[in-house]
Amino acid sequence: MSANDTIDRQAEITTDTFTEFGLRPEILKGIEEAGFRAPSPIQKLAIPEILTGKDVIAQAQTGTGKTAAFGLPAMNMTQQTGDVEVLIIVPTRELASQVSDELYRLGRFAGIRTVAVYGGQSIRRQVELIGRGAQVVTATPGRLLDHLRSKRLTLNPSIVVLDEADEMLDMGFLDDIEEIFKYLPEQRQTLMFSATLPDAIRHLGAKILTDPVSIDITPKEVTTNTDIVQRYYVLEEREREEALVRLIDTEAPNKSLIFCRTKKETDSLSTTLISRGYAASSLHGDMQQRQRDEAIDSFKKGRIDLLVATDVAARGLDISDVTHVFNYHMPFDPDSYVHRIGRTGRAGKKGIAITLVTPLEFKKLRRIVKSAGAPISHEEIPTLDEAERQYRDELIDKLERQHIHDGAADLLQQLEEDLDLPQIAYKAISMLLDRAPVQGPDRIGFNAREVERMMNRFKRRKNYKGRPPKPRLRRRN
């Protein structure tokens, strides 16, 4: 197959089981223990090509099973030499840990040892673990390049995988990637996976790939529900939790789904929300079926009004009265975005979808918006004063609409024995104001002027081919 040939998602695929790939029995056992039943489209197309030893450039979204798509054939071809045979380069620490864990799980019966290499961990410890005979190393560019430059590591992998290549571009890692490949052997099999293929990524592919097979399983068209109002808020990573709480306070949602990327994050965030007095629960794949059923039932019946979930765990949820969807972290691709926000705005009702995004994630948001045809607007997170005023306005509205309880007259008569009517009113209102949930710093996130400057910076570097400058925003005092 020539470099210009592309296998797309419409291709006829007849592979129904993993056994048809001719994988080693130990690898198949890992697949079975992991609960994989049938290969996904990217696995059906990529695994046979990789097993032939060809270079591959694959366009596939996160969540399509691409880790197994490159990991299974790569581990199947290891020779157990005691050296690093597979090197996987990923953009973030979280992804490095996630990929390493998944490949260990899939390859453990074949004796595959994996090590994740990223910043924030002991350099000596990483070198020691690799020296003990790891066949697979998953690494972030910065820490990997540091090891290679200092000669603490000399790697001679037969297979090199570049995962989430467009994320590498967005985070300014392209120069690092090119330098890393100078330390790697020329005789190797190289696999590149990316959700999108901008020009800079295609240029990189031309440098590091040899006559690659091209595979494309990206969705051709996704659309969003016009009954959903879509907004995004730009903030710093450390502000994410406070931003969510402030928006919950000011939006006063009736029932909300909050989407996180990882199981650990769903538990952590739901625990934080509960500690702050919200009726919340988590929903993820590691929960027992009884726990999952209990969380969903509580959400449906209104015992909790905030359900913190992963994409996988929320599949199949059919709850018609969800008023808000919060993307605590950016979804990975347009399909995920559309599926997430589609949980609200059902049965002719209006819904609100809110996405929290950092400056580094802003370009990804723009790609999702463009692909999904989503009319999404930027708004500023309310200040503390604005949030308090909004709470008071809502309180007035609720008091005006509040029905009078049958026992209210008797209780008022009792209170008037010790207090006059204005005192009773002041104290009752003060009790309600004391319950105001509004808290946190006065200002959270970036304002409209700062976001406009960021958008202009992205426009100016639209055709930039090298390392893009990182977004720089100065906060006004």
CATH at 356: 3.40.50.300
Task: Please tell me the predicted confidence (pLDDT) of residue 130.
Answer: 93
The pLDDT assigned to 76 comes to 96
How many distinct helices (H) and strands (E) make up the chain? 19, 15
Alpha helices in 310-381 (DSSP H): 311-314, 334-341, 362-372
Q: What is the pLDDT along the chain (477 residues), one digit of tens a residue?
A: 444 456 654 444 556 789 999 999 999 999 998 888 889 899 999 999 999 999 999 998 766 788 999 999 999 999 888 899 999 999 888 788 889 999 999 999 999 999 999 988 899 999 999 999 999 999 999 999 999 999 999 999 999 999 989 888 877 889 999 999 999 999 999 999 998 888 899 999 999 999 999 999 876 555 566 788 999 999 999 999 999 999 998 888 889 999 998 888 899 999 999 998 899 999 887 788 788 889 888 998 889 999 999 876 676 566 778 999 999 998 877 777 887 888 888 767 889 999 999 988 877 887 777 776 767 888 998 888 887 777 777 778 778 888 888 888 888 888 888 888 888 888 888 887 776 566 677 788 788 787 777 777 666 655 444 444 444 444 443
- What's the pLDDT score for residue 250? 86
Output b/e per residue, 409-442; b: 16+ Cβ within 10 A: eeeeeeeeeeeeeeeeeeeeeeeeeeeeebebee
Domain membership of residue 76 (yes or no) is yes
Q: Please, what sign has the CA dihedral across residues 474, 352, 322, 260?
A: negative
* Cβ contacts of 205 within 8 Å, gap of 6 or more: 57, 165, 192, 197, 212
Within-domain flag for 468 = no
Same domain for 323 and 399, yes or no, is no
pLDDT score at 313: 67
Domain boundary among the residues 147, 182, 216 is at: 216
Helix spans in 286-325 (H): 289-300, 311-314
Choose one of 216, 236, 252: the last residue of a domain. Answer: 216
Residues 6+ apart with CB under 8 A from 129: 115
What pTM was estimated for this model as a whole?
Answer: 0.60
Q: In terms of domains, do 300 and 334 share one?
A: yes
Q: Rounded CA gap, 340 and 155, in Å?
A: 41
**Together in a domain, 163 and 251:** no
The pLDDT of residue 213? 96
* Residues 338, 278 share a domain: yes
Backbone angles phi, psi at 137, to 5 degrees: -120, 125
- In this structure, the chain runs to a length of 477
Residue 162 lies in a domain: yes
One domain, residues 452 and 316: yes
Structural domain contains residue 171: yes
Count: domains in the chain: 3
Q: In whole angstroms, give the CA distance from residue 105 to residue 96.
A: 14
pLDDT for position 9: 46
Same domain assignment for residues 197 and 277? no
Same domain, 246 and 154: no
Nearest CA to 47 among 17, 86, 74? 74
Residues in contact with 96: Cβ distance below 8 Å, sequence separation at least 6, in sequence order: 90, 116, 117, 118, 138, 139, 140
What is the Cα–Cα distance from 172 to 183, expressed in whole angstroms? 20
1, 210 in Cβ contact below 8 A?
Answer: no
Does residue 467 lie in a domain region?
Answer: no
Residues 274 and 371 in one domain: yes
Residue 259, in any domain of the structure: yes
CA distances from 336 to 45, 48, 104, 261, 330 (A): 21, 27, 26, 11, 9
User: Do 210 and 252 share a domain, yes or no?
Assistant: no
The boundaries of the domain holding residue 264 are 228-383+447-460
What is the Cα–Cα distance from 133 to 129, expressed in whole angstroms? 7
- pLDDT at residue 332, as a whole number: 74
Same domain, 333 and 202: no
DSSP string across 148-180: HHTTS-----SEEEE-SHHHHHHTT-HHHHHHH
Which pLDDT belongs to residue 310?
85
In a domain, 465, yes or no: no
Select from 122, 130, 176, 178 the least CA-distant residue to 156: 130
Does the residue 161 lie in any domain? yes
Helices (H), 116-262: 123-131, 141-149, 165-170, 174-182, 199-208, 240-251
Residues 401 and 428 in one domain: yes
Q: Which one of 158, 188, 216 terminates a domain?
A: 216
Amino acid at 398: K
CB 304 within 8 A of CB 281: yes
Both 243 and 376 in one domain: the answer is: yes
